Amino acid sequence: MALPLMPGNSPNAQLKKERFHKSQHFIVYGGGMVLDLEKPGIGGEPLVGQKFLPKYSVYPKGEGSDLPSWVAFDKQTLRFDAYFKEPEYDAKVETHRIRKCKIFFYLEDDTIHVIEPSFKNSGLPQGTLIHRHRIPLPPPNDNQFYNVFHFNINKDIVFYSRTFTVTDCDLFTKNFLSKLGITLNEPATVPEDPYTNLRLQHEASMNPLRPYERLHPLKQFLENDGKTLRFYCLWDDTDNLFGDQRELVLHYYLADDTIEVIEVIPPNSGRVHVPKFLRRCKLPKNAPVQMKPPGAVTARTVLNVFGTMNEGKHVVLDSCDIGAATDEFYKDCDLAIGKEINVFGRRVLLTDCDEFTKAYYRFKYGTEDFTPVQHKAPPAPKPPRLVPPYNGFGSEEDSLGNCHGLMPKPVHKDFKKFMEKDSSGLNSNVLRFKARMMTTDPVHRGRVFLITYFLSDDSLSVFELEQKNSAICTKIFALKSRLKIPAISLIVFSISIFMVKNEMNAGLWVWNKSQEFKKCSANRHKKKKCSVFAEKFPITNVGTIFSKLRSISEDKQNEVRAFLSHNTPVNCGFVSFESFRDLVMGLNCGLTEHEVLVLARRFSEHPAPKEDVTLMLSVAQHYLRRNRFEDYNLLSARFVHSDRQKSERLPAEEVRNICKAFMLPIPESLLEALLTEYADGGGIDYHGFVAGLNWLEHPAPAVMTDDILKYEVSARFDGGRSALKNINCSSLVKEIFSFSPNKGEA
């Protein structure tokens, strides 16, 4: 039943087409119009009887890909070994030549490249035979190109009327063709080339029946160029009139086995300095010998020369070298420490050598004994240089420099130490101690001094603190200067020994301006430095302190048991600092005041005082307002930039580093207290921290002067005495003596 001819019922295939363009079938070729029969019809559809050939090779079966061929087969090449037979018309012997070549097939675009390996003295233009491009098939299929299916082993392929026979291929090519389903043939053999055989026979006939001796001096030069053995020598010439012992240096050059001798002329010896004792040459063993006549020293010996100039000369060589010169020269195997060598009639003794020479003989000959020969007495000790006593002008180093030479040089200062220990930001690198004057005068006994020690140059200054109702005002007691150790006075031959940081410890006495001071406490920076660098401050080493306590006698340990049994039931093992100090100092084990403080600080237990956050913020804003710090937006942006996780929390160490980078004018103790208040389980709340410091948007109440001094002075110089109220003596005794205070036994 036929459908009515209405829209939607027509079987015409043109309804769904979108392309109706007509191809241009005429092209201009050679100045005229030519019909191109390969162009498609309307809309790109093939005409009747027209077939489109594939442009490139297909993918391997089962491994298809949607990628283009220039991506899927990038840098993948098939390599075939082949040869072709070239007829030869002008040669006398051979009628053809077999020329080997290699065929490269590039899978990405089906291009082919043919090269011929170069052969020595072939006389033929070798190299690239066919440049890389797509090669058409032979006629009548010259409109198509070679693809991967046209190649196989033991198969003839025609490239531009030249037949190539494929003999073999590499492993990658075999695997690739096998995946395409191509059955590979057996490898073929390459026929012999008559011209190649003729060349081999000709080269074999050129080899002499009695070859010359082959010497390779260039190989020895290339391997040992720049390598020299050095020996220290002695020539004893005392048997001759006015002769003495002469020190020499022998250089043996491994590149050409030559020897050079240089004389070491000591100063004020009266001898004329000559450049060389023996110039560089080969040193004969039996010198001096009679000079050889001309022609005696040759590489080959000529027996006879016969013939005339017209007939041609013939030379007969001596294969046994009967008349050759037989002079023996010194080699590296003839040189060793303790041996004598003949330097043209002078007996020279080898006494020592350098490290390179020792390593050379140890590696090549296995020598291990390199004991030097002692040939001269040890040098006399230098007389001591007398240094006059210090005259009081300038520093002692400057006065000592005048004694070292006519032109005094400035004193060399430790610039590296100055750069490392100088004040940087909030790190002052200054140690501060509180001290009292050691005197029996009741007026001066209560005076309190502040001793400041500068790590950059090992100098110190003394400042007297004001005491209430003492009529003593605050003043500088001693300017900044280096302090001598009083036990070592100025002695001859050396300058005074000055005090360094290792000797600045609590409980020691310091002499300054004929006054004696006893240091009572130290600031936090000093305690932190002593704990971190315990090897530089042995007085703060807890292990050393424990060793002194364990060395006490059994009677002293019984006294400790009695003291604990008396105090443990009452105070649960806790004692005051004064009682603890009296107990430890009474043991007479050599502990100093500073070591007692270190021991008490380790076993002290005290609740941390609760700080007023509002007061701390007021003091911090006071410092920021006084120094006109207003970069709060930049500070907040820096915190946000460092917060990679966007958690609004940062570690305390990173917040501290950022604050130091912005140079916040806040004391270190106050900054640590603020970071502790704003810390929680995940870090520091930097938004709240910045908001609390911002005196422009969130001003805090006014602060009193005493509150400011609390963080400026009290936190520095209290020395931790307020923290040393309760000492856990039970834990100390249990850790050191390993017995319980309750039972009194181990």
Does residue 280 sit within a domain? yes
Q: Is residue 374 part of a domain?
A: no
Closest CA to 384 of 496, 492, 497, 490: 492
CA nearest neighbour of 103 among 142, 153, 177: 153
Residue 502: DSSP 8-state: G
Q: 551, 555, 559: which is closest to 590 by C-alpha?
A: 551
H helix intervals, 460-608:
524-532, 542-550, 554-571, 577-585, 593-602
**pLDDT at residue 156 in the model:** 93
Per-residue tokens: 561: 């048991």
pTM higher than 0.85, yes or no?
no
Domain assignment present for 339: yes
- Give Cα 587 to chain centroid, integer Å: 53
Predicted confidence at residue 500, as pLDDT, reads 47
Do 572 and 694 share a structural domain?
A: no
Provide the 10 A C-beta neighbour count for residue 146: 19
Q: Mark whether 39 and 131 lie in a shared domain.
A: no
In a domain, 393, yes or no: no
Same domain membership, residue 596 and residue 732: yes
Do 492 and 558 have their domain in common? no
Which of 500, 533, 566 delimits the end of a domain? Answer: 533
Question: Does the N-terminal peptide bond of residue 288 adopt cis geometry, omega within 30 degrees of 0?
Answer: yes
Closest C-alpha among 229, 260, 225 to residue 357: 229
State the Cα–Cα distance between residues 5 and 8, nearest whole angstrom: 9
| SS3 assignment, position 539 | helix
Same domain, 245 and 323: yes
Residue 398 placed within a domain: no
pLDDT of residue 281: 92
Round to whole Å and give the CA distance between 1 and 470.
134
Residues 588 and 732 in one domain: yes
C-alpha 40/C-alpha 132 separation (Å) is 29
Are residues 662 and 626 part of one domain?
yes
Domain around 78? 69-197
- Indicate left, alpha or beta for 471 from its phi (over 0: left) and psi (-120 to 50: alpha): left
User: For residue 62, is it within any domain?
Assistant: no
Provide the 3-class DSSP secondary structure of residue 570: helix
Q: Collapse the DSSP code of 146 into the 3-class scheme (helix H, G, I; strand E, B; otherwise coil) and give the result.
A: coil
Asked if 175 and 255 sit in the same domain, the reply is: no
Long-range contacts of 626-634 (CB under 8 A, 24+ apart): 626/665, 627/665, 629/664, 629/665, 630/696, 631/662, 632/690, 632/693, 632/694, 632/696, 632/697, 634/662
Round to whole Å and give the CA distance between 476 and 463. 5
State how far Cα 442 lies from the chain centre: 64
Answer yes or no: do 576 and 560 share one domain. Answer: yes
pLDDT of residue 649: 87
- List all residues 6 or more positions away from 315 whose beta carbon is below 8 Å from its beta carbon: 302, 304, 305
Q: Are residues 560 and 617 in the same domain?
A: no
- Could you tell me if 586 and 732 lie in one domain? yes
Domain ends where: 507, 533, 559? Answer: 533
Q: Do the beta carbons of residue 262 and residue 251 sit within 8 Å?
A: yes
Given 501, 533, 565, the domain boundary residue is 533
Which of 418, 426, 431, 420 minimizes the C-alpha distance to 657?
A: 426
Amino acid at position 360, single letter:
Y
pLDDT, position 18: 82
Q: Which CATH number does the domain housing residue 456 bear?
A: 2.30.29.170
| Maximum CA extent, the chain | 147
The answer to whether position 248 is within a domain reads: yes
Rounded distance, CA 736 to CA 557, Å?
11
Both tokens assigned to 170: 């590499």
Task: Please indicate, yes or no, whether residues 579 and 657 belong to a single structural domain of this protein.
Answer: no
Blockwise average pLDDT, block size 10, the chain, 746 residues: 66 74 84 83 82 62 63 90 90 85 93 91 86 91 88 93 94 92 91 86 72 71 93 91 90 94 89 89 84 70 63 64 73 93 92 94 92 87 84 80 82 85 75 82 82 86 81 81 59 36 46 50 51 54 75 76 63 67 76 76 61 82 88 90 87 88 85 84 85 88 73 48 60 65 40
Dist. CA 440–CA 350, nearest whole Å: 76
Asked whether residue 127 is domain-assigned, the answer is yes
Q: How many domains does the chain have?
A: 6
Q: CA-CA distance, 504 to 523, in Å (whole number)?
A: 12
Residue 66, H or E segment: none
Cis peptide before 187 (omega within 30 of 0): no
Q: Residue 353: its pLDDT value, please?
A: 94
Q: Please give the full DSSP string across 3-51, using - where no structure is assigned.
A: PPS-TT----GGGG---------EEEETTEEEE-TTS--GGG---TT--
- Residue 312 corresponds to which tokens in the numbers above? 């041609």
- What are the beta bridge partners of residue 52? none
Tell me, what DSSP letter sits at residue 424? Answer: B
